[in-house]
Structure 1
């Protein structure tokens, strides 16, 4: 299954080797997000310029050599959350692995910013209008987009709810997620029934940690 993920063509030859070594790496992206958010703990959603973080995410070109160290997949789950970095309780950076044909429930983002970048495979994102108070009607689709590798998308509660789904029947997909502030991890979030609009509060499950990081870091 892992072999079916890593199909991104990389340049070959001495000149290309030097280019790969010089290109913007995942660790550079993490470093720049850290530098932007600062050292002190605590942050509010209004303190974040999401356009700046989106521009950093777009600058990074997916390279499996960067992220395979964080890759873990539980085939019994719809998707597996892998911790990359926890930035002073200001942001969580995660690697998500999506099993074929599986996806997330419809959910909100606990008044936080979420930037998602597809690293391998494809993901379909469906955005929904939030339900009106007292409604008991199906959620209305606002937009549906199929994201290819290296696409970057952004969602917040001001935009709506969303669901992410791997449309492939035989390949896992991999995505990078930046949550700032990490409100869902700290306080939980809501999932929604698409048929009725009813919401349920859930606590965020702890992300899987690579051997390089303690489990408590995200």
Structure 2
């Protein structure tokens, strides 16, 4: 699969990969314990991941270690929660349901969590630029986000 200049639009890259499942090097699998994931592609300035989500599976609050990116829902429905923290005010969580064919871009300081809250499995394509080196996991409390761990590529995933 030829990938055009991805610095312009990570969502366009995710959409192109979603449009060509016959070219994926693996068939999506499902893990009853946790999300399943496989890196589909890596280049100098980005990487592409395939993820599967059974009902109830999701992530913790996390960021992408300074990488920007996008995701595209290939099949099923996922819910993305984002948080706004304003000094002196309780954090505000906004939820967005994204069905098959929907996608979203995000910047390098994006903190979110994603969950399959539906009753059907879901599959998604994620693009990160540059490639992930760390991910910070958070806990959301009354005062905002508290760092729990910083995971490193190659060590924790």
Asked if these proteins are the same fold (TM beyond 0.5), I'd say yes
Which segments of 5 or more consecutive residues in structure 2 lack a partner in the other structure?
none
C-alpha spacing 1:99/1:163, structure 2 compared with 1 (3 Å):
same
Tell me what 2:66 maps to: 111
Tell me the CA shift for residue 62 of structure 1. Answer: 4.1
Tell me the CA shift for residue 108 of structure 1. Answer: 1.3
Tell me what 1:189 maps to: 135
Q: Do residues 128 (structure 1) and 83 (structure 2) align?
A: yes
Larger radius of gyration: 1
Q: Do residues 200 (structure 1) and 157 (structure 2) align?
A: no
Contact 1:125/1:164 (CA < 8 Å) preserved in 2?
yes
Which segments of 5 or more consecutive residues in structure 1 lack a partner in the other structure?
1-26, 38-47, 207-217
Q: Distance in 1 between matches of 2:62 and 2:38?
A: 19
C-alpha spacing 1:131/1:109, structure 2 compared with 1 (3 Å):
farther
Superposed CA RMSD in Å reads: 2.8
Contact 1:71/1:95 (CA < 8 Å) preserved in 2?
yes
Higher helix proportion, which one? Answer: 1
Tell me what 2:101 maps to: 150
Per chain length, whose mean CA-contact separation is higher, i.e. which structure has more relative contact order (CA < 8 Å, sep 6+)?
2
Secondary structure, counterpart of 1:55 in structure 2: helix
Tell me what 2:113 maps to: 163
Higher strand proportion, which one? Answer: 2
Secondary structure, counterpart of 1:198 in structure 2: strand
Contact 1:96/1:176 (CA < 8 Å) preserved in 2?
yes
Contact 1:115/1:178 (CA < 8 Å) preserved in 2?
yes
Contact 2:10/2:69 (CA < 8 Å) preserved in 1?
no
Contact 1:70/1:84 (CA < 8 Å) preserved in 2?
no
Q: Give runs of ≥4 in structure 1 deviating > 3 Å.
A: 55-68
Tell me the CA shift for residue 202 of structure 1. Answer: 2.5
